[in-house]
Amino acid sequence: MNQFLAMVKARTMEFVRDRGTFFWNLLFPLILVFGFSFVFSGNQDKIFKVGLLGDVPQSSQYSFLELEQAEFIPYDLEQIDRETVVQKLRMHQLDMLLDFDKNSYYINDQSANGKILRMLLQNPQYNQMALQEKEVSGKAIRYVDWLVPGVIGMNMLFSCMFGVGFVIVRYRKNGVLKRLKATPVSAFSFVSAQMASRFFIVLLTSMVVFAGTNIFLKFMMLGSYWNLILITALAILCMISLGLIFASRFKSEELASGVLNLLNFPMIIFSGVFFSLEGTPPLMQKIARFFPLTHFIEGARAIMLEGAGFVQILPNLITLAAMTLLFLVTASLLFQWD
As measured in angstroms, the least distance from the Cβ of 151 to another protein is 27
As measured in angstroms, the least distance from the Cβ of 207 to another protein is 23
Residue 14 in contact with another protein, rule: CB under 8 A: yes
Residue 1 in contact with another protein, rule: CB under 8 A: yes
Nearer to another protein, 1 or 119 (CB): 1
Give the H or E element holding residue 307. Answer: none
Backbone phi, then psi, for 94, in 5-degree steps?
Answer: -125, 150
Nearer to another protein, 182 or 215 (CB): 182
* Under 8 Å between Cβ of 301 and 145: no
Buried b (16+ CB within 10 A) or exposed e, 148-173: bbbbbbbbbbbbbbbbbbbbbbebbb
**DSSP notation for 239-288:** HHHHHHHHHTT---HHHHHHHHHHHHHHHHHHTTSSS--TTS-HHHHHHH
End-to-end CA distance of the chain: 27
Residue 7 in contact with another protein, rule: CB under 8 A: yes
Residue 174 in contact with another protein, rule: CB under 8 A: yes
Q: Are strands 96-99 and 104-108 parallel, antiparallel or unpaired?
A: antiparallel
Q: Exposure of 22 by Cβ count < 10 A (0-12 exposed, 13-18 middle, 19+ buried)? A: middle
As measured in angstroms, the least distance from the Cβ of 167 to another protein is 10
Residue 182 in contact with another protein, rule: CB under 8 A: yes
Of residues 15 through 54, those in contact with another protein by CB under 8 A are 15, 17-18
Q: How far apart are CA 299 and CA 317, in angstroms?
A: 8
As measured in angstroms, the least distance from the Cβ of 10 to another protein is 5
Residue 185 in contact with another protein, rule: CB under 8 A: yes
Nearer to another protein, 175 or 315 (CB): 175
Span from 6-14, 135-143, 145-153, 316-324 in contact with another protein (CB under 8 A): 6-14
As measured in angstroms, the least distance from the Cβ of 13 to another protein is 5
Contacting residue, 179, 218, 249, 289, with another protein by CB under 8 A:
179
User: How many of the chain's residues bind another protein (CB under 8 A)?
Assistant: 26
- Strands (E) in 119-182, as ranges, are 132-136
Span from 7-15, 57-65, 90-98, 286-294 in contact with another protein (CB under 8 A): 7-15
Q: How far apart are CA 209 and CA 204, in angstroms?
A: 9
The 8-class DSSP code of residue 210 comes to H
Span from 9-17, 134-142, 264-272, 286-294 in contact with another protein (CB under 8 A): 9-17
* Under 8 Å between Cβ of 153 and 271: yes
In the complex, the residues that contact another protein under the rule CB under 8 A are 1-3, 5-7, 9-11, 13-15, 17-18, 171, 174-176, 178-179, 181-185, 338
